[in-house]
Amino acid sequence: MRHRPERAAPEAAGRDYLLSVYYERTVWAVSVPLTLLGLLEREPSHGYDLKRDYDAYFGRGKPLSFGQLYATLARLDRDGKAIAGPAEPGGGPDRKRYVITDAGTADVERWLSEPAPPEPGLHSVLFTKVVLAVMLGRSAGRFLDIQRAAHLQRMHELTELKRSDNMADVLLADHGLYHLEADLRWIDHTAARLDLLTQAVRR
């Protein structure tokens, strides 16, 4: 019996997953400028308020830096997507209120009406490893078993995370679970067809 390496508690590990890998693959692929424009379409806002709302809804585990925030707002202003109002009295480094323009609203409208590109994601890595294992005469079945165990472990962690009362966490975990489930189906399907793959790949 082989022992698994020590790992973080399921909830912590699951949260790490949501806040890193998941974030990198999904949320971060979202355009920060368009997301900020969307927040501005809701209501004119100060930079601080934009950062607060961005971090709360979209920046899970990777909050927007003030540097990136103000650089992005400056570009939106330059490109005519948003207008920075005059500096307002009060404490803090920036008291400008930003307002979206018609061009900015049109960008948000267009963006929200387009489908997100379907991602091949992890499959390319799995596919490469399986094909290479077959080419090299190694046990692709063994690799698929190891991968299946890793996927199921991650799915268990995400399922535990869904006990959270935070609906955003629950929906993010669901998103991750469905992607992992799709991977697992591919793993099972491939495991059942390794003999055919071997005939096709080996010379």
Partner 1 sequence: MSAGNQPAVAGQPGVIIEARGVVKSFGQTPALRGATLSTAQGEILAVMGPSGSGKSTLLHCLAGILTPDEGEVWFAGGRLDTRSEGERSALRRDRFGFVFQSGQLVPELTAEENVALPLLWSGTRRGPALAQARQWLGRLGLDGLERRRSGELSGGQAQRVALARGLVARPDIIFADEPTGSLDSVAGEHVMNLLTDAARQEGTTVILVTHEARVAAYASRQVIVRDGTVSTLTGVAP
Query: Do residues 88 and 49 make contact, with C-beta atoms less than 8 angstroms apart?
Result: no
Nearer residue to partner 1 within complex by CB, 16 or 77 = 16
Distance, in Å, from the CA atom of 81 to the CA atom of 40, rounded to the nearest integer, reads 10
Distance, in Å, from the CA atom of 74 to the CA atom of 76, rounded to the nearest integer, reads 5
Q: Verify binding: residue 146, partner 1, rule CB under 8 A.
A: yes
Question: In 3D, which of 111, 108, 33, 124 has the Cα closest to residue 72?
Answer: 33
Q: Verify binding: residue 150, partner 1, rule CB under 8 A.
A: yes
Cα 135 to the chain's mean position, in Å? 33
Nearest-approach distance from CB 113 to partner 1, in angstroms: 27
Q: Verify binding: residue 137, partner 1, rule CB under 8 A.
A: no
* DSSP reduced 3-state for 193: coil
Q: Verify binding: residue 193, partner 1, rule CB under 8 A.
A: no
Nearer residue to partner 1 within complex by CB, 107 or 183 = 183
Q: Verify binding: residue 201, partner 1, rule CB under 8 A.
A: no
Q: Verify binding: residue 2, partner 1, rule CB under 8 A.
A: yes
Query: Do residues 4 and 18 make contact, with C-beta atoms less than 8 angstroms apart?
Result: no
Nearer residue to partner 1 within complex by CB, 5 or 92 = 5
* DSSP reduced 3-state for 148: helix
Question: Per-residue x/- marks for partner 1, 160-189, CB under 8 A?
Answer: ---x-------------x--xx--xx--x-
* DSSP reduced 3-state for 45: strand
Nearest-approach distance from CB 128 to partner 1, in angstroms: 16
User: Residues interacting with partner 1, by CB under 8 A?
Assistant: 1-5, 142-143, 145-146, 148-153, 155-156, 158-159, 163, 177, 180-181, 184-185, 188, 192
